[in-house]
Structure 1
């Protein structure tokens, strides 16, 4: 992996930006929980917005197109989020690694040669699946009804496809059109 100073700066900018966004959505999901609780849907508060928490990894990889960028940007965003006061604590850093690894696998499926909606969706879906498996064991989802667990997974995947797939593609393409990322591979590759 050949990194230049501009690559480190880009990962830093994306990670800091999304750490703030991530922390905001932690509080937003917490706001949704009591609204959904009377309907037995409290766990869905996080699932509805879970795709937001993968956006640093998919955006950084979409712009920079280098192996390892997804994991590094997601872990850095998670670390900054923890330092800013995420009430889930240091385990968020482990979650960041797992989420970034899922995104990394999505881009690796295409050998880091294809960066389009298909690869973004693969990265988004694998981030959702990897994080869900981690959450299944960490949060004891095995105690829930199987159909409820599958519904949670489906909502997480859809959220991921919307936020870290569709929205990230629009953000990345918008940055490309603006010229803000003209010195990165996104500007010269399809």
Structure 2
């Protein structure tokens, strides 16, 4: 079932980026920016699930990070992307102000509470990374949720992580070569492992019908 257009309403911009559908319900939700109960519940589930993914990545991903960094200092950033995926998932699925920040921060809190090698600094990272992703969705007016927006959100989350680590990891004292290489690898990893992969995950979930109560699901299934 295809959604009919009304007046000048469009579902994609000239670059092919999906735009939130102009139904009466969606228009009202966008104007009020109010979270529904289902938004809170699903965002919380995504956050907890992502936190469990972080626990796995704290071992596998950190081993990759350490090996790459031993090869060339700064190259370890290629492994960072999975730690940035929460903000992308939250922003793409919930599509409400604060969703990207909430999901990434909650995932970081779950990871820290269960236990990892970084302790409370994990929460600071979740805040910085979630804020980076959130700012990208904010810049689109919470209306564009395609692969380009997802990859930009992942890259911005990486920039947030890189900025925080200037101070929490002492990176500010390291060489310019390290800083530029680490910036490049973290941002690229964020764009691919958080942005592109996150977008693919959302589409896969939507195809199962699990997201039919969200515009993210209806964009894929064609439901109205």
TM-score, normalised with respect to structure 2? 0.78
Larger radius of gyration: 2
Aligned to 2:58: 26
What is the CA deviation profile of residues 124-152 of structure 1, one whole-angstrom value per residue up to 9, with x for unaligned ones?
Answer: 11111121111112212132221221111
Aligned to 2:152: 122
Pairing 1:1-190 to 2, within 5 Å after superposition: 1-32=33-64, 35-36=67-68, 39-41=71-73, 44-45=75-76, 47-189=77-219
The answer for unaligned runs of 5 or more in structure 2 is 1-32
The answer for unaligned runs of 5 or more in structure 1 is none
8 Å contact from structure 1 (residues 106, 124) kept in 2 = no
8 Å contact from structure 1 (residues 52, 160) kept in 2 = yes
What is the CA deviation profile of residues 43-63 of structure 1, one whole-angstrom value per residue up to 9, with x for unaligned ones?
Answer: 543x12211111111111101
Q: Which moved more, 1:140-149 or 1:49-58?
A: 140-149
- CA 1:124 to 1:28, structure 2 compared with 1: closer, same or farther past 3 Å? same
The 4+ residue runs of structure 1 with deviation greater than 3 A are 32-41
8 Å contact from structure 2 (residues 210, 217) kept in 1 = no
Query: How well do the aligned residues superpose, as a CA RMSD in angstroms?
Result: 1.8
Figure out how many residues of one structure are paired with residues of the other and give that number: 188
